[in-house]
Each structure stands twice: as structure tokens, then as C-alpha cells.
Amino acid sequence: MNYRVVGGKALKGEVTTNISKNAAVGLLCASLLNRGTTTLKRMPRIEELKRLIEVMESIGVGVKWQDNGPVKDGEPSHGAGDMIITPPQQIDLSGINRASAERTRSIAMFIPALVHRLSSNELGTSGSFELPAPGGCDLGKRSLGAHIDALARLGIYITASADKKSYHIEAADLRPAEIVMYEASDTGVENVLMAAALIPGVTTIKFASANYMVQDLCVFLESCGVRIEGIGTSTLVVHGVDRIEGDITGYPSEDPIESMFFISLAATTRSEIVVKRCPIDFLELELYTLAQMGLRYKRSAPYVAENGRTVLVDLTMKPSDLVAPPEKIAPRPYPGINIDNLPFFVPVATQATGRTLIHDWVYEGRAVHYMEMKKLGADMVLADPHRVFVTGPTPLKAAIIEAPPALRPATILLIGMLAAQGESELKNVYPISRGYENLHERLRAIGASIEAVE
């Protein structure tokens, strides 16, 4: 699918932040820890989840939308709904859907639950199995080193096959431990949390990510009977249990990265857009930085999400004259600027007077994808694979561009096209569909001229 866009006009209206892709993925993977039925509320119909569901179904897990039946391609791809996950008595990996597994890096988050299910001798195994190597976004060298190092402390050992097409996982003598994360990896900490949840005793995770999806997973695990101290901090203490079995309901919360997409869109197109249900705790530094750049906005009184923990606000973005920030913009672990929010400063910087330095130090080569904005007329210089200088304000122009194979860089090109005069086309938008549900329809609702074409 491609997006055809006629840009260059201000947008206006309201948009509601959807449930987080990353939180939904984490809770879906964690549902495999429960031997009973798990209901996950308002799950988004996005491609990333569809691939994981295809894998789950291929190993015997039942997955249904509460009112729409089995999740299959060809069904309506819009309208978040409650998802019911029912595990089988025995998980069988012999028929695993490799094609779907290889299309998502999130497949690595199945490791803890599969270890616990397969090490219980349900299939006469000792927790030894193979899992297809994960794929997903092409963001250079994205190592599972943080996962491998931390899980080994718990007795879970991961090695790559010679052809690097699969991972061999072996569990022996599972035990609680004190773990120091050498990298503040979101998914690394999530994997440790899921593994520790079913290892009786106390596991301490130091230098843990406290990002939004990690907090959502902690809240879900607590609903499973696992006590976790330090939620929202960099030290998590997990009191593992020997079994999780029951009717459990999980509430993934709203996506601060999606909120940031619409905030960036409003700033870049000089539009008045109300972005509702924004998880403000995970956007405050981004908004502070944008305010330094001249962005004007109003914030509603706070209210609480369905999970009873996440604080939400509605943001009214105002058309603003922008300037380059006084310092470089770079991500940091929470509560710093979120690594996934960093790309959204690129289109904003094209419309800000002065020179902005954006330093994407985490991912190898992602900044190279940012340079695709030059095809829309952006004045940009790539200093090295991690640093980009953007000079503005620059009138953007229409272009035909192939979407890069990475979710966030693809979305910033869409923002640029909506700001650019004339008709543009963003080709092969599957990377966007991995994390955003029917984005073109939601953009049309606030006045964008955009259509999905074959």
C-alpha cells in the first residue's frame, strides 16, 4: 500500500491517542505466562500484533477479538477491540509460523514464556527449543546482547545458529538473581521481568528501563499476582511466583509516541490540533524542548487511564513561529526524551529558524534514514551515522519516496509530505502500518488530503 498526499495546508480538529504498540506487544507476550484466560482491553489492529498473533496461533494459542472472532488477515483492520488469549494445554513449536516470526523483532519477547511452558515437561523437554531469528525495523546493529546477558543470570541461555537464522534457547536450573543491565533496553528489561515472574524468590533488576511499556508490563504482572517494587524507577524488585493461572484482564495504556506524531505534525504544518489522551509523564521533556523552540500549546487537567496508573491530558497545539533550540536534541532513558520520539523533531526543525543538531546516538544508522527528508527540500547535513544538522525554515516540496524500512523514519516523511506543497507519494507504507492503525483515515478526519492506493 502507498500513501498519496496533497500537502501544504493547515489541519484542524481533534484526534485521540491510540493504545501503545509497544505496551500491547508486551502484554500480548506476557499473556503466555498465564495458564488461564487473559483478556487485553482495546488492543490496536496493527501489523506488528498481527504477525505475533499468527505465530501464537501456529503454536496452538487461541486468540480472538471479543466480538469479531479469530484475528485473521482479510478481516476489518480498524477498530481496537478486546482480545481474548487462551493457551493450549501443550505448546507445540513444530509448526511455528517462521515467515511471521521473522518479520518482527518482538518475537524475542516470547522467550521467557516459552521457557516456562516448555521446561515443565509438557512435551518431554527440558526447556530447550529453537526460535526464528527476529526481524522488524532495519535500524542497523540491534543486538540482543542485553537480553542474553541478563537472562543468563536467571538460567536461560541464548545462542545464535551458525547461519544466524534462529536462536537456540536452553533453560537449566532457573533461579532468582540480582541483575545489572549494562544497557537500558526496554525489551531487555521486559524479558527479564517476564522470566523472573515465574521464578519463585526475589530478582532485583538494576539500571532498568522505566519507560512506558515497562511500567505497563509491571502493572499487568501485578494483576497476575507478581509483586513488583520500584515501578517507574531504575531498580525493580520482582517477587516471583511458581504459577500464574486465572482469568486476568490487562489494560495497555495510550501511546506517547503516537501523541508525539500528532504534536510534530501540528508544529510542522502550523496547525491547531487537539491531541487527546496523551500520557503526559512520557512527553514532558519533549514538550519542554518544543516550547523552547517556540511551540505554543495548552494542557487540560490530568485524568487517569483505564489501567488506573497512567496520567493522561489533552493537548491543544497552536500555530507557532519556531526557532532552533539552544542545545542539541538527543534521547536519554526515561525520564529523558524518548528514543522513539527523537525522529519527530526532524520535520519540526525544518520549519524552525536556525540550525538544529539532532543526535541519534542509540541506533546505528537511523539518522541516515532522516536524510530522506532532503528529497522534500529539507536543508540537512549528515555529520556522521548518528548526527544530523537541520537548517530552517525551509519550504518543503512534493516528492515520490520509498518508505524506509523503519517505523519512525517512515512517519516523519509522511509529516513532511503533509507540510509540502503539491502532491507527494510515500510508497510501501508497511513500516507505518506496523505501529499505526488506519493512519490515513485518522488524518483525513483532521483535514488532511491523503488516500491509500495500491
Can you give the CATH number for the domain in which 127 is found?
A: 3.65.10.10
pLDDT over threshold 70, residue 72: no
CA dihedral 26, 28, 34, 37 (to 10 degrees): 150
Grid cell, residue 27, equals 502484554
Both 378 and 243 in one domain: the answer is no
Both 276 and 219 in one domain: the answer is no
Both 437 and 320 in one domain: the answer is yes
Both 368 and 432 in one domain: the answer is yes
Percent of all residues in the chain with a pLDDT value above 90, rounded to a whole number? 83
pLDDT the model gives residue 194 = 98
Q: Which of 250, 265, 288 is the last residue of a domain?
A: 250
| CB-CB neighbours of 25 under 10 Å | 26
pLDDT over threshold 60, residue 70: no
Taking a C-beta distance cutoff of 8 angstroms, is the pair 282, 336 a contact?
no
Both 287 and 393 in one domain: the answer is yes
pLDDT the model gives residue 135 = 58
Both 219 and 292 in one domain: the answer is no
CA distances from 323 to 245, 283, 290, 299 (A): 55, 20, 9, 21
Q: Which residues, at least 6 apart from 259, have a Cβ–Cβ distance to it below 8 Å?
A: 17, 275, 277, 278, 279, 283, 315
Structural domain that includes position 155: 21-250
pLDDT the model gives residue 140 = 43
Q: Which of 250, 285, 313 is the last residue of a domain?
A: 250
Apex 134 CA angle, 129 and 135, nearest 5:
165
pLDDT over threshold 80, residue 134: no
CA distance 440 to 335: 31
Q: Supply φ then ψ for residue 72, to 5 degrees.
A: -135, 150
Q: Which of 216, 250, 284 is the last residue of a domain?
A: 250
Average pLDDT, stretch 375-399?
97
Both 288 and 231 in one domain: the answer is no
- Taking all residues of the chain, what is their mean pLDDT, rounded to a whole number? 92
Both 225 and 350 in one domain: the answer is no
Look up residue 390 and give its amino acid: V
Both 183 and 311 in one domain: the answer is no
Both 203 and 320 in one domain: the answer is no
Both 113 and 138 in one domain: the answer is yes
- Going by pLDDT thresholds of 50, 70 and 90, the confidence category of residue 68 is very low
Number of structural domains (the chain) is 2
Q: List, for residues 223-261, the tens digit of each pLDDT value.
A: 999 999 999 999 999 999 999 999 999 999 999 999 999
CA distance 417 to 412: 9
Both 286 and 362 in one domain: the answer is yes
